[in-house]
Structure 1
């Protein structure tokens, strides 16, 4: 793969095409995204996100960026944590996902407390040293230039601020990995076809997980971006990993 191309799942595509291809995927799945998350993970994604909240260190008065926050489930939890003196920004590059997030936050009665921003993780439109905490859950693998995104996130963190990346990763057990592969490439697209009438998008999502950096590689990328005390926690046998780093 040269500098002019990148991965879209297992396919090699021109760099300038990836963002548009990813946008098409999430335009297609936006309205069924939360239902699919429950079905795909058998509800376990809710546990993974609870761990994010526990490790975030967010408290009243903090400023939080929920990046690639889509339908806003983490955003809603952060609104409760920061209280009326805090600030929560829901950002996503995809307008369809943001619309779903906006609608659901309004339904919960907290839409007015959230700033909603359409933004590219590779070039965040915020001043330096803005946020006490940034989370990106299941979004980094879809970013074309992950190093640029990590640098951008580090830039807008306050000194002492935390970046938490929740992402599908590499299972630590070889037998479990084979079962997981069978599920991802055979069962998942069928669920996508049944629920969202879109097998191809969920096949891409499975492929994008396999192309994402493994746990030690992502840890090194975060350190290269300037974060310190970087650590990761495997969950569900490494199917998902939570990486956390601090800006000093």
Structure 2
């Protein structure tokens, strides 16, 4: 049975999926990443070269975990706009930022990554964590993020990739296919959702291919950094 929806149904499918797992999403992420997800988000902030006073867009912001890291970097004079099309994820995000020291600098809103509701060249940096894999049209979303990015600003993505080391890569895909859905059932009560994550990761471009897409869509200095043995990667480029 395939858990990967057709392109024309992907938007509604993914939105419903994230609405259903929103309450347990952060807990399951911690389990899946072995507690390293916060460190990876901090690396995204560093790679985006976020500075105090800047305005940063966090696309597919989910429960605002990366948005909160970005808010610490922009400081009291800056702003972070987090956008996600799952209203339930935004609700959890609003709960998460209540006690955050820079909560006044964070705005969360519902919106579509493929049709961003912003003017051209509005943001100093754009980030997206575990989001590009879930959009129906990857290059449409990329072009939208580039459109709203100021010249000189960086687009930085954190997402799954594909390990290449023999034995390790086979073990990884077995883990992702068999163990991760069990974690999804324990953490979020939705094993089927995490079977979708496995299939979407299998079909998502690996880091070299995604880096190539960044360059082909006009970003300079496109590069990638593998994490966790190449199971995921940070891909970046400058407008």
State the TM bucket, normalised to the shorter chain: over 0.9
Between 1:237-246 and 1:42-51, the stretch displaced more is 42-51
Structure 1 position 65 matched with structure 2 position 53: no
Equivalent residue pairs, number: 239
Counterpart Cα distance in 2 of 1:105 and 1:144: 29
What is residue 220 of structure 2 aligned with on the other side?
228
- Contact residue 50 and residue 125 of structure 2 kept, 8 A: yes
Uncovered stretches (5+) of structure 1, i.e. residues with no partner: 1-8
Instruction: Give the TM-score, by structure 2 length.
Output: 0.95
Structure 1 position 52 matched with structure 2 position 49: no
Structure 1 position 41 matched with structure 2 position 33: yes
CA RMSD of aligned residues (A): 1.5
Within a 5 Å distance, the mapping from 1:17-166 to structure 2 comes to: 17-108=9-100, 110-166=102-158
Between 1:19-28 and 1:144-153, the stretch displaced more is 19-28
Uncovered stretches (5+) of structure 2, i.e. residues with no partner: none
Instruction: Give the TM-score, by structure 1 length.
Output: 0.92
What is residue 171 of structure 1 aligned with on the other side?
163
Counterpart Cα distance in 1 of 2:117 and 2:7: 21
CA deviations over 1:71-90 (Å, ceiling 9, x no partner): 11111121121122211101
Counterpart Cα distance in 1 of 2:119 and 2:109: 14
Counterpart Cα distance in 1 of 2:48 and 2:59: 14
Counterpart Cα distance in 1 of 2:126 and 2:75: 17
